């Protein structure tokens, strides 16, 4: 389930040209299952109509202490108590100053001062305003209060200048909230190393040996751990997939040797390593430097073994490190998976079979069996790969929980 499901989000919209992005932000939050209440400053209504945001949020937009049409008092204290999170996006220089100095002269600033929930501010303004010492000081003050600042990004601004000051994209703001609500104490700050996708072994400059892996499972795992607060490094073979979370450090590789080298470089500092990539077992021994012409009726390629990444890292693994490997099998599944588990010094092996409908390469679903070093077996039904990733995260998190120091009484 999405971590924003049924979360109550107060969205503050202040006077900035970037206010038009609030429409997409509301739409994304509602799509994620959140309840959204929009509070606008008077100046924000000049950039986007309250009707637009009310229609998307399915709630009347609030902008004054007392509604003009009904005389109803919009209780800022109750709003502050209602919300699971207050997000001010865009946060103009004026709104940042109000919040930083407790200048409570409009509904949004009153809601901010009344909020008992986490507060996220996403600044948006021209680059000189963003860099001005007064704005920098206000942002530092707001951070010191415990607020979360979603930094402005670099790009073309409404003034025509290019630099920092652009509102973070709505997708980035939603991801920030998802990570906040998905955080698990046992995973926050942990270094998670994940491999994903296929490798391509060159025959000549235009041909290669590969497999049918798409990387979907590994990318789903990376997304789950990033949302939970872990520091994720994703070593990805050739795939069309976009990085699922901007907090993920992605390293793109092509060949098995490149994947081994990048994974081995990151391994010493990893708390958990999850080897999901479908790495080629063999590579052409003598790749041609020019395109091979089609001449003979038969053509043979001499292959040589690639480095066994799991076995190599398993031999180096320290007692404080955890490793999970994957085994995609077509026959003698359990026996083959157990052999790989112990031979490569893994803590878990994730078994799936091409004989299971909806499992394996290319599908949006997977059916797995997880076997621990102690040969404890967890069998799961066919699920979406994001749900499978959550199951794997839970198994690893429970193991990490046993290693946490006891809480002080």
Tell whether 291 is in a known binding site.
yes
Residue whose structure tokens are 């391509």: 200
Catalytic residues: 211
Q: Which secondary structure element, helix H or strand E, spans residue 168, and what is its range?
A: none
The Cα–Cα gap between 126 and 156 comes to 10
Burial class (CB in 10 A: 0-12, 13-18, 19+), 298: exposed
Tell whether 281 is in a known binding site.
yes
The Cα–Cα gap between 41 and 71 comes to 18
Tell whether 344 is in a known binding site.
yes
Tell whether 340 is in a known binding site.
yes
- Token digits for 186? 């046992």
The Cα–Cα gap between 8 and 84 comes to 5
- Token digits for 53? 């945001």
Closest to 41 measured CA to CA, from 134, 110, 101: 110
Residue 8: HSE in the Cβ half-sphere, 13 Å Cα cutoff: 11
Say if strands 303-305 and 348-353 run parallel, antiparallel, or are unpaired.
unpaired
Residue whose structure tokens are 């026959």: 331
The Cα–Cα gap between 161 and 213 comes to 43
Q: Which segments are annotated as binding site for CTP?
A: 281, 291, 326, 340, 344
Residues in the annotated binding site? 281, 291, 326, 340, 344
């Amino acid at each position: 389930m999405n971590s924003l499901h049924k979360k109550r989000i107060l969205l503050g919209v202040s006077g900035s040209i970037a206010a038009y992005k609030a429409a997409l932000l509301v739409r994304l939050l509602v799509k994620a299952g959140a309840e959204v209440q929009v509070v606008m400053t008077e100046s924000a209504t000049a950039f986007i109509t309250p009707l637009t945001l009310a229609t998307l949020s399915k709630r009347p937009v609030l902008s004054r202490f007392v509604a003009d049409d009904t005389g109803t008092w919009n209780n800022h204290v109750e709003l502050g108590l209602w919300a699971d999170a207050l997000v001010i996006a865009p946060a103009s220089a004026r709104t940042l100053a109000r919040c930083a100095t407790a200048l409570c002269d409009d509904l949004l600033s009153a809601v901010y001062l009344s909020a008992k929930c986490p507060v996220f501010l996403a600044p948006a303004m021209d680059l000189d305003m963003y860099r001005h010492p007064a704005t920098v000081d206000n942002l530092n003050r707001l951070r010191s209060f415990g607020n979360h600042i979603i930094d402005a990004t670099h790009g073309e601004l409404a003034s025509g200048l290019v630099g920092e000051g652009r509102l973070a994209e709505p997708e980035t703001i939603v991801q920030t909230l998802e990570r906040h609500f998905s955080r698990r104490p046992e995973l926050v700050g942990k270094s998670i190393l994940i491999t994903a996708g296929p490798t391509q072994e060159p025959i000549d400059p235009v041909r290669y040996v590969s497999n049918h892996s798409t990387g979907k499972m590994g990318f789903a795992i990376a997304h789950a751990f990033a949302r939970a607060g872990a520091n994720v490094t994703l070593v990805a073979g050739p795939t069309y997939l976009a990085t699922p979370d901007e907090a993920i450090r992605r390293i793109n590789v092509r060949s098995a040797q490149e994947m081994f080298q990048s994974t081995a470089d990151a391994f010493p500092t990893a708390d958990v390593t999850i080897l999901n990539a479908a790495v080629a077992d063999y590579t052409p021994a003598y790749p041609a430097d020019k395109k091979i012409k089609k001449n003979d009726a038969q053509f043979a390629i001499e292959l040589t073994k690639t480095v066994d990444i799991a076995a190599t890292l398993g031999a180096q693994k320290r007692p404080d490190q955890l490793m999970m490997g994957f085994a995609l099998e077509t026959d003698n599944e359990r026996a083959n998976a157990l052999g790989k588990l112990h031979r490569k010094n893994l803590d878990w092996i994730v078994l799936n079979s091409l004989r299971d409908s909806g499992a394996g390469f290319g599908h949006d679903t997977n059916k797995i069996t997880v076997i621990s070093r102690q040969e404890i077996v967890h069998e799961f039904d066919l699920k979406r790969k994001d749900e499978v990733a959550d199951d794997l995260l839970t198994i690893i998190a429970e193991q990490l929980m046993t290693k946490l120091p006891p809480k002080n009484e």
